[in-house]
Amino acid sequence: MNTFFPWRPPLEENWAARVAELEAIAAGGEMPDYAATRSVANQQLGPRQQLRIERLGKRLGKIKGNGFTRIELGLLGNRTLSYLCDPLGAAGLARGLLVSAHEAPYDGVAGFAFSAKNCFERGLDAVLAVLDESTLQGERPLLDRAAEDEAVLEAERIASAIAEAARSKTGCPAIIATLPPCIQLTSADIATPGSIARFRLRVNMMLGDGAAEGRWLMWDQAALASRIGIERWFDPIAYHSAKVPFNVELCPLAADNIASLLAAMTGKSARALVLDLDNTLWGGVIGDDGLAGIRIGQNSAEGEAFVAFQNFVLGLRKRGVVLAVCSKNTDAVAREPFRRHPDMLLKEEHIAVFQANWDDKATNIRAIAEKLGLGLESLAYVDDNPAERERVRRELPLVSTIEVGEDPSFFIDRVAGSGLFDHLPLNCDDLARANSYGGRAAVAEIRARV
């Protein structure tokens, strides 16, 4: 099945029956099981399945119950954003959120930002502003740097007014979307003051600086559009006829990307990455092939892909994500590559919990969560073995098991694309978090020996 979500597990054969059970519970006015609902929403949905989860999300939004974190989201823009509302509800379910999206009146940006009226007429948890360039641009003659500077300052004034209006009128932060890339006329556009491409780039840097200063939050629409491809992201027919800022068919993907940010706002991002070893951090089986036989680095495409993935994992750790190992292996054998292989980037000191034994993976992941003092919902799991991934999903549905596949070349793309490690602008406490969890796990180990 063609899917926007390759990092999610394939659709279960009994998916429709499982959803029918949840729909029946919801029809009776009760909130269905949290883990089961997340599970059916967090699969590789096709168009029909997507619509069904969207309807389920709307129904659950009207039911009182525990488990899901409720988000009231305002949508503000000078283009039509109504197409995002239902996909946001479906995307929220996959991340443990009940998202109710409320669109402001069409082209209501100026009224919300500069008048006394609250067009949403309710309190909100966040206001997402997706602005078309026409809202921001001033006169920018080509090669006129001063005019371009003033246009960027005007864009900053509008962003600041939206952020202040969100705080004062709805009691919530503003999330401001970056501007997507445009189709460039020449390679020199970025070097040409006054060009559309250069203006968008400068506005996006301004929005990034404002987010770093805590003035607003940011949804990086530009990064998502670049990943998809601007020709696919932008639908010129729908843009002119229906005033839609991006291809309607991509709304589920855009909604999921936004939902990952909402999850970060509400503390539902993954805080720990649990890693298998054989054929996940290196090629081959250390217990069978020995240190000289595993494939990592060594000037091979496969070995270099494993090195790249390890480097990516180290980058997560630098952002405060705690690392753990979960491997069916003899402990001393599993540790040998970390200690002795010259091409290993990950070392033992980077791993907060090293769980290598012959117990099943679910048992070991439970032990990892206990040692770290984290709930299962805070853990993401990476394993090249589809059978192991399926067992963990079945036994620990709250653990986010990423469908990385078996080719290490795609591991980075799948883990990053999942959005599980989305976060707000980093601070010093975030950077120190991995070490603090490592210390907590060490204390748990010492207590276990007493």
- The b/e string for 388-408 (b: 16+ C-beta within 10 A; e otherwise) is bbebbbeebbebbbbbbbeeb
**8 Å CB contact between 136 and 158:** yes
Amino acid 86 reads D
pLDDT at 444 over 80: no
The Cα–Cα gap between 450 and 442 comes to 13
What average pLDDT does range 353-366 have in this prediction?
97
Region 308-319: mean pLDDT is: 97
20's tokens: 């029918």
What single-letter amino acid sits at 34?
Y
Q: What is the token pair recorded at 399?
A: 């653990």
Average the pLDDT over 163-172 and give the result. 95
Instruction: Evaluate if residue 445 carries a pLDDT over 90.
Output: no
pLDDT for residue 450 = 42
Q: What is the mean pLDDT of the chain?
A: 93
**Residue 209's pLDDT band (cuts 50, 70, 90):** very high
Would the pTM of this model clear 0.85, i.e. be above it?
yes
Interior CA angle at 430 toward 417 and 274, to 5°? 50
At 127-154, the pLDDT tens digits run 999 998 877 766 788 999 999 999 999 9
Angle between helix 386-395 and 361-372 (nearest 10): 60
| Count of Cβ atoms closer than 10 Å to residue 376 Cβ | 18
Count of other CB atoms within 10 angstroms of residue 251: 23
Query: According to the model, what pLDDT value does residue 139 have?
Result: 74
State the average pLDDT over residues 153-163.
95
Is the pLDDT score of 84 beyond 50?
yes
Question: What pLDDT, on a 0 to 100 scale, did the predictor assign at position 435?
Answer: 75
Parse the chain into domains and list their residue ranges: 11-67, 68-265, 272-449
Q: What is 68-265's CATH topology?
A: Rossmann fold (3.40.50)
State how far the alpha carbon of 363 is from the alpha carbons of 130, 357, 368, 383, 395, in Å: 44, 11, 9, 15, 9
* pLDDT tens profile 374-426: 999 999 999 999 999 999 999 999 999 999 999 999 999 999 999 999 998 87
- Angle of helix 34-41 relative to helix 47-60, nearest 10 degrees, comes to 150
The encoded tokens of residue 303 equal 């070995």
Q: Which CATH superfamily is domain 272-449 in?
A: HAD superfamily/HAD-like (3.40.50.1000)
Given a cut of 60, whether residue 447 has pLDDT beyond it is no
For residues 37 and 60, the answer to whether their CB atoms sit within 8 Å is yes
Each residue of 341-352: pLDDT tens digit? 999 999 999 999
Return d(Cα 269, Cα 430) in angstroms, integer. Answer: 13
Give the model's pLDDT for residue 43: 97
Percent of the chain with pLDDT over 70: 96
Residue 195 belongs to what H/E stretch?
A: none
